[in-house]
Structures are given as structure tokens and as C-alpha cells.
Chains A and B, each alone.
Chain A
Amino acid sequence: MLRFTGVGLRYGAPARGSGPGFAGGAAPETLRDLTFTLSEGSFTWLLGPSGAGKTSVLRLMQCVLRPTRGEVEVLGVAVSRARRRDLALLRRRIGAVHQDFRLLPHLSAFDNVALPLRLAGRSESVLRAEVAELLAWVGLAGKQHALPAELSGGEQQRVAIARAVIARPALLVADEPTGNLDAAQARRLLALLIELNRIGTTVVVATHNEELLLRHPAPVLRLEAGRLVGAAGAEPRPAEAPGGEPGRDAPAPAPAGAPPDDARAPAARVSGFRHAGA
């Protein structure tokens, strides 16, 4: 479960020195009075114009940032009261896809994807097959040993997505995950996200991609200038209705029926991947 309670965030606020988490001087609050709850296994779109604070919300969810005030509760852990060691363990259960990929430039695609499993202490023999299978699924079977600099933007994004899901996170946060993908790849990614959500992963996706919203109507969190906006009441707690009724803010109704076939096939393979490794 994800619960934000009166969350405010000001970069550079905690007078704890010059840490990377607190870079910058005394700035205005990036986020203000965010209160919402996303239930376990929900799928939520995070919308809003650039600079509205979407990335900050995702970073709070990923536990790489502590709120300046209020409380963030991720997977049952209250972040502001947790010990650092526990937060590190918590982060291993959270997958994150960043807008700028954030791949390690000195590691091959294979090693980048394998890193979460290696950090979790998984054996090389198990890990090798899993990583190879996932890389093949994202279409990078032949580029396992390429460095990120040798890959195109779309390929790097697919490596980043593979790295985010390889450890089967309980929570997946994605920041513009389709930004560098073509339409077909974006549909495949959406199918993957839906499949992960179907098998229990809580998914939060920040996006500008209207087509994705049309394809997969889901509750929406809409940010503007660091605040939640939209109709009061239902909006800030979109996922509390278990039916997953689309937020009022959600664009036009989805095209009837399930995702198209080209998306469903890889989704089935992902579930196979999961069961094979589990």
C-alpha cells in the first residue's frame, strides 16, 4: 500500500548539509499537502504538466527522498521513521523506470539488468537465465554485452525497464517510460505493466502519452504546481474503490475490449517468465 499523508517537499530544506538528496538552496515547496492512498495491486496514472512535481512524487514513492513534512508510507513502511538499513531493503522491492534511464555507464546491458538480483544476493546460475530471458523479451537478446553508450535511446529505455522489473517488485514506479519508444514498443510496455499489475504489482506511471491512457483507463492522480487537483473526494483517493473505476479526470472511455493481440502475446510471455523463475 502507498499512503501519502499531508506530504510537503522542499528541496534543500533539511539542514543536514550538502547531501545529494537535498541539493539546492531554500526553494519554494515542490510538493504541498499531498494526501492520497493507493491500495495494494492498484494501477494509477500520474498526470500533470512538466514541473508539476510528478518526478518528485515518484522519487518519494521510490524512497530515495524523504518528505520535508507529512508522512509517506510505502509497502507498509513509514519512510520518515524507518531506519536506513530497512529503507535499502525496502527499495529492493521497488522497481523504478526513470525518464533519463539512469543506467550504469560502465556495465553492459546484461550487468545493468542483473544488478538488482546481484544486490539481492541471487546466485549467478539462476540470474543468468532470468536476465537473458527478460533481455530477449525486450528485444535485446543480441545486445547483452553492449554498453549503454552503444545503445539507442529506445534500447536504453528497454534495458532500464528490464532492470526495474527483473526482481519482481511489489511496487513499480515509471517516469515517462514510453518517452523514447515507438508506438508498437509503447504498447508492448503497457502490456507488460498491465501484466505485472495483474499478478499483484502496484503500478504508478507518470506519462504524457494520451494513447496509453486511452488503451488502459485507470485511476488518475493529477498534479499541478505541487498540489493534487481535480474534483475533491474521489480524485485524491482514486484506488480506494476496488473496482478500479476510472478517475473522473481520465480521458475518454477506453476502446472496448482487451488490449490488442500484439500486446497480449508478450504479456503472456512475461507471466511465463515469472513463473519459470519463481
Chain B
Amino acid sequence: MRDPDPVTAPAAPAARRATPWRRRRGPRRSRDPLGLRRALADRLLPGLVAAMALLATLAAAGGDAAAGLAARWQAGAAAAVTVQLPPARADAAETVRAALAALPDVAAARVVDPARLQALLRPWLGEAAAGMQTVLPLPVLIELHLTPEAAARLARAPAAEAAALAERLGTAAPGIEVEAHGLWVARLARLAAAVRGVALAVLALVAGVAAAAVGVAVRAGLAARRDSVLVVHGLGAGDGWIAAQFARRAARLAAAGGLLGAAAAVPVLMLLRGLGASLLAADGDGDAAVPGLAAAPGMLAVADLPWLPLLAVPALAWAIGWTTAQITVRRWLRTLP
């Protein structure tokens, strides 16, 4: 009627006038025998999956960030121990530092510059700080950086290990006071692990809800195309063929939703990163935990985004759509002979 194939129906005069657009119509339809393009075309499914994907991306990025922070704390702060020397023994600072540096647990030891100490106190003591030296002598501070093994031991058993470490340091340099950050670092690490666990739980929940949404959409599609499915079943179409029709469509819609959600997450993540970076930059005086961000707070690198979750979410959405549709359709088909 519209575009008879010129080879098989040369006599039909309309064929000569058929435009290329018309000619494509036949084959295009034949790839969608069940008419699922319309039955499973509602914008609801991609929209729902997009919302899920946004949540999943944010949760995954949050979990990532928490893990990164935990690792940073364990490598950085946990490895740092501050030793105080009474002001009276200020002359012995260099001797004590050398003694501590020689210990097997200590990677490096450094006497904190008195000028920097005064700078730290200035906000509280004002300009008087400079003259306070004689009235209120400041202690000498020595910063120790532990070896990775010692830091790991400290992170594992903060209370016991901190005491043992203090004893070892005290034997090497009597009269010092030791302050290890191990305890609160361990607590923060536990918090980070908990945040990670929550992120994983949110991911699992979101995946479950997405699967349920796909399942409902596929059921609606089955109901709408019940007659067509029964016809192809009667013609000898196997479960695999019928399920594949639905799975292809559902997977494509879910993946589109996943892409949409991940794309929507990018500006949100950029914003959060930007806030974090400006915080670190304002705080930092060379000790910033993320040197790259502190160095160029304005230049937020695209490479810093959590690309793994951003790319994994659409792929996961595709897989959820495909699997859910396969299971839903095959289960329904099993009620037929």
C-alpha cells in the first residue's frame, strides 16, 4: 500500500514514488513485532530510573569520599605524634629530637619552629604574644612521623598502642609528654566506614527500587501486548525470543534513565567538590591534605570527579532493566503451555 518493494512488486505504480523515508518503514517495524516501542515507551520508567541513578551516584560518590578520607587520616594524622618538652629543657631540644628520630617506630622527627607556635597563639594572645616569651615560656614541640607499620598498629588498637608508644618514647627521652592522635583518628575511621556501609545499603536499596520499577513497567507492557504475545507464542516463538523483545526495550529505557541520572549528578558533585576544595584552601598553610586542590582551588579538575560510579551507574541500570524484564516475562510465559 505504501512502499511495495520494487523487486517483489514491480507492477505497483505507487512504488516508484515511494520516498526513501517511506521505504525504511517496513523493516523498521519488523524489528519491533510486538509494538513495544509504544507499550514500553512511557517517560515514567526512564524518569524513575534517572532519579534512582542520581541517588545511586551521589551515594557511591559519598561512600568513595568517606573511604578516601579514612585512608587519608590513617596515612596522615594517625602517623603523627606530638611530643612536648618542658620549657626548662628547651636547650636539649635537638638531643631529644635525635634520640626520638633514632627509634624504629619513627620515620622522621622535627622541632616545630617557635615562630610558628607564636603565630598559632596570636589570635588568642594578640600582639602581646611576642613579649610573653619571658613571662609564659612556651614548651618545645617536636613532631614525629611514624613509620607506616607503626601507624597501622596505632590505627588498629589506638588505646593500647598509644600507651605502649608513649612508654617507648619516654624511655628514649625522659621527661617528655606524648600526645598521639590515634584514638580520635580511629573513631573518625570507624565513622567513615559506617558512612561507607550506609552508602552501600542505599545503593542496594536504590537498585531494588529500580528493579521493581522496571518490573511494574514490563508487567504493564505484557498486559498491553498480551494478545500479540499470545499470537507469537502460538506461532512457535520460544520464551527466549519473547523475553528478549521486552528485555531489549526495558534495558534501553533503563540505561537512558541511568545516563540521565548520572549526568544530573555531575553538576551536584562539582558543586560539592568545589565547596570542599575552597574549605581546604582557606584552611591550608601547606599542610592541606589534598595538595592538588589546595594548590588550585579555582581550577576544579574534571578528572577529580568519581568517574567509576558515574560510568557504572548507567551500565548497572542497563543490566537491571535487562535482567528484570527477562525474569518477569519468562515467569509470565511459564503459565502458558
Interface residues of A (CB under 8 A from B): 16-22, 62-66, 79, 84-85, 87-94, 96, 102-108, 110-111, 114-116, 118-120, 128-129, 132, 136, 141-146, 150, 163
Interface residues of B (CB under 8 A from A): 1-5, 7-9, 11-12, 14, 25-26, 29-30, 32-35, 38, 226-228, 230-239, 241, 332, 334-337
Contact B35 A104 (CB under 8 A): yes
- Give bound CA distance, A91 to B236, whole Å: 5
Kindly provide the distance from the CB of B24 to the nearest chain A CB, expressed in whole angstroms: 11
Contact B25 A145 (CB under 8 A): yes
Known A20-B226, A145-B2; contact A107-B337, beta-carbon cutoff 8 A: no
Other A-B pairs beyond A108-B29, A136-B9, A144-B9, 12, CB < 8 Å: A20-B336, A64-B230, A84-B239, A84-B334, A104-B228, A106-B32, A107-B33, A132-B5, A141-B9, A142-B1, A142-B14, A163-B235
Contact A19 B5 (CB under 8 A): no
Contacts A/B (CB < 8 Å), 19 sampled: A17-B335, A20-B336, A64-B233, A64-B337, A84-B337, A87-B337, A90-B236, A93-B236, A102-B227, A102-B231, A104-B35, A106-B32, A107-B33, A108-B30, A110-B26, A119-B235, A119-B236, A132-B8, A142-B14
Contact A144 B1 (CB under 8 A): yes
Contact A105 B228 (CB under 8 A): yes
Kindly provide the distance from the CB of A56 to the nearest chain B CB, expressed in whole angstroms: 13
- Give bound CA distance, A65 to B337, whole Å: 6
- Give bound CA distance, A63 to B336, whole Å: 10
Contacts of A116 in B (CB 8 A): 235-236
Contact A21 B26 (CB under 8 A): no
Contacts of A114 in B (CB 8 A): 30
Contact A106 B337 (CB under 8 A): no
- Give bound CA distance, A26 to B12, whole Å: 54
Kindly provide the distance from the CB of B213 to the nearest chain A CB, expressed in whole angstroms: 22
Contacts of A20 in B (CB 8 A): 226, 230, 335-336
Nearest A residue to B234 by beta-carbon distance? A64
Contact for B335 among A21, A85, A142, CB less than 8 A: A21
Contacts of B233 in A (CB 8 A): 64, 88, 91
Contact A88 B239 (CB under 8 A): yes
Nearest B residue to A89 by beta-carbon distance? B236
Contacts of B335 in A (CB 8 A): 16-22
